[in-house]
Amino acid sequence: MARKFKTVDYEEALEMTVKVGDVLPPEHLVHFVVFVIAQLDLSAIYEKYKPVGAPPYEPEILLGLLFYGYATGVFSSRQIEKKSKESIPFRFIAGGYEPDHSTIADFRKDNLVEIKELFVQILVVAIELDILELGNISLDGSKIHADASKSKAISYKRLLELESQLQAEVEELFTLAEKAEKETIPAGMVLEDEVALRQERLAQMAKAKAVLEARAEVRYEVEKAEYEAKLREREAKEKARRRKLGGRKPKPPTPGPRDKDQYNFTDPDSPIMKNSNNQGFDQHYNAQVAVEQSSMLIVGNRLSDQANDKQEAVPTLEAIPTEQIGQPNAAAMDNGYFSQTNIEAFQSQGVEPYIATGRESHHQSWQEFFAGQPEPPAEEASPKEKMAYKLKTEIGQAIYRLRKSTVEPVIGIIKEVLGFRQFSLRGLVKAAGEWNLVCIAFNLKRMHTLYYS
């Protein structure tokens, strides 16, 4: 006897009526997103609408599409438009409307400042739902690709060469114009257009050079501070040991741009940075987050055009809305953030820092694992020695150990689960707004999990 199968008549299937409530159970993420948005004060967004014209989509709809889209790995406004036609959760948020991608993209771009404030409001909602109580935090950063082509970048060395070449060509063209009556100008050549073209490019070169010089100045100040800190540490060790240390002394930094410093013409704010997953270099921004250790919610976020994490610790701490959610007790960071300046800055704000003083060993020996409490360092010990001792104390180990299981997974989820690996918006300010939107999306997803657990 032949096996019978359940079959589908696809002509009839096209006429099926689907009840959205049957497809989206009450605990579905989309319901939670709509619920949280209903708790927010959107008056700042509403005030931007003029009292005349055709009825626009209410902000709740467009925010819902953006929040749910980013929380489910849909970042493109075109893809969100497509989903609002084809995906039941997106159709539920839109209520059957189908906002086009231009409307979605314009709303996102025009309300980045207001959405930044919503990040804070959503954390307050988390507190009201009893799923956030600010305690200890972990800080970390990751490089995220800018919406910029590497082929549109130019090095500082090449920029200077090209600038000299263009200036020489302009002078040649002016000379040719003076002799135009005596010598024949090449057919089809319009001198005014050729000069204007090169002068425009020279203006672009001047802007690029100014940006690279400004970045170099910031880098120099950071490296100078690090150099002076190393000198102080060396002097402290020599004083404690009562002898000169061997080896090379720290080398002072050199001011000014370097030959390989690069400027990108598609997104001038995005610098070239080393890739985190290979030995290559690309156009990136440095995305920073502060994650509360108990809830794993992002309580502070920041985007930087500086590759070095060291100067990002304090601004990321200051990005936490302490007036609304309180002050953290302690902060765990890897050795990329270690500096005496950071230690003092955190302590001055009432946050006890626990910062690795070097690379962590992946495989501890049994002697290291079962070693007892170390002896406290001398009063004149260096900041690094004091921090190394603090990390070996029972409380230090408890706080720092959670860094790997809190902030690192959060960044991993954003990149691997949500799939956010490149910005859609260009420029540091706009990209920072999009990073804030990504952090909101992660928090909504995490809050949903905590609320129903």
Burial class (CB in 10 A: 0-12, 13-18, 19+), 342: buried
pLDDT of 320 above 80: yes
Predicted local distance difference test score (pLDDT) of residue 45: 96
Predicted local distance difference test score (pLDDT) of residue 151: 75
Residues 319 and 249 in one domain: no
pLDDT band of residue 279 (cuts 50, 70, 90) is: low
Picking from 204, 237, 263, the residue at the C-terminal end of a domain is 263
Predicted local distance difference test score (pLDDT) of residue 80: 97
Nearest to 430 by CA among 274, 297, 270: 270
The number of beta carbons lying within 10 Å of the beta carbon of residue 325 is 20
Q: What is the CATH number of the domain that holds 366?
A: 3.30.420.10
Nearest to 257 by CA among 298, 291, 300, 211: 211
Residues 389 and 434 in one domain: yes
Asked whether residue 313 is assigned to any structural domain, the reply reads: yes
> How much of the chain, in percent, has pLDDT values that exceed 70?
94
pLDDT band of residue 99 (cuts 50, 70, 90) is: very high
**Tokens 């109580």 belong to residue:** 133
Residues 301 and 276 in one domain: yes
Which residues, at least 6 apart from 450, have a Cβ–Cβ distance to it below 8 Å?
Answer: 131, 295
Picking from 263, 294, 317, the residue at the C-terminal end of a domain is 263
Number of domains in the chain: 3
Nearest to 250 by CA among 229, 233, 231: 231
Predicted local distance difference test score (pLDDT) of residue 172: 82
In sequence order, what E strands does 215-335 have? 262-264, 272-274, 281-292, 298-304, 330-333
Residues 337 and 312 in one domain: yes
Predicted local distance difference test score (pLDDT) of residue 372: 62
Mean pLDDT of 193-198: 86
pLDDT band of residue 209 (cuts 50, 70, 90) is: confident
- Both tokens of 14, joined, read 């096209």
Asked whether residue 41 is assigned to any structural domain, the reply reads: yes
Q: Where are the alpha helices (DSSP H) in 242-339?
A: 313-318, 322-325
pLDDT band of residue 181 (cuts 50, 70, 90) is: low
Residues 106 and 224 in one domain: no
Residues 69 and 176 in one domain: no
Predicted local distance difference test score (pLDDT) of residue 440: 98
Picking from 228, 263, 298, the residue at the C-terminal end of a domain is 263
Asked whether residue 122 is assigned to any structural domain, the reply reads: no
* C-alpha angle 431-432-434 in degrees, rounded to nearest 5: 65
| 138-156: b (≥16 Cβ within 10 Å) or e | bbbbbbbbbbbeeeebbbb
Predicted local distance difference test score (pLDDT) of residue 180: 64
pLDDT of 369 above 70: no
| Amino acid, res. 10 | Y
Per residue in 120-136, pLDDT (tens digit) is 999 999 999 999 999 99
Mean pLDDT of 178-185: 66
Least confident of 152-156, 374-378, 413-417: 374-378
Per residue in 223-256, pLDDT (tens digit) is 888 788 788 878 777 777 778 887 788 888 888 8
Residues 300 and 402 in one domain: yes
Predicted local distance difference test score (pLDDT) of residue 363: 59
Q: In whole angstroms, what is the distance from residue 417 CA to residue 265 CA?
A: 31
pLDDT of 205 above 80: yes
Predicted local distance difference test score (pLDDT) of residue 383: 84
Residues 174 and 30 in one domain: no
Q: In whole angstroms, what is the distance from residue 285 CA to residue 172 CA?
A: 41
Residues 308 and 446 in one domain: yes
Mean pLDDT of 87-92: 95
Q: In whole angstroms, what is the distance from residue 29 CA to residue 35 CA?
A: 10
Mean pLDDT of 8-24: 90
Per residue in 148-179, pLDDT (tens digit) is 877 788 888 888 888 888 888 888 888 877 77
Asked whether residue 4 is assigned to any structural domain, the reply reads: no
Asked whether residue 124 is assigned to any structural domain, the reply reads: no
Which of residues 230 and 392 earns the better pLDDT score?
A: 392
Residues 277 and 214 in one domain: no
**Tokens 């490296």 belong to residue:** 223
Residues 242 and 171 in one domain: yes
Give, in order, the Cα–Cα distances in Å from 21 to each of 87, 91, 118, 351, 400: 14, 12, 28, 47, 45
Which of residues 33 and 200 earns the better pLDDT score?
A: 33
pLDDT of 117 above 90: yes
Per residue in 49-65, pLDDT (tens digit) is 988 888 999 999 999 99
36, 64 Cβ separation under 8 angstroms: no
Asked whether residue 327 is assigned to any structural domain, the reply reads: yes
Domain encompassing residue 184 = 151-263
pLDDT of 315 above 80: yes
Which of residues 261 and 8 earns the better pLDDT score?
A: 8
Nearest to 128 by CA among 203, 36, 190: 36
Asked whether residue 3 is assigned to any structural domain, the reply reads: no
Mean per-residue pLDDT of the chain = 89
Which of residues 114 and 379 earns the better pLDDT score?
A: 114
Mean pLDDT of 19-32: 93
Residues 250 and 303 in one domain: no
| 228-255: b (≥16 Cβ within 10 Å) or e | ebeeebbebbeeeeeeeeeeeeeeeeee
Predicted local distance difference test score (pLDDT) of residue 274: 79
> How much of the chain, in percent, has pLDDT values that exceed 90?
55
Give, in order, the Cα–Cα distances in Å from 302 to each of 313, 381, 430: 10, 33, 12
Asked whether residue 115 is assigned to any structural domain, the reply reads: no
Q: Which helix (H) or strand (E) holds 142?
A: strand 137-145
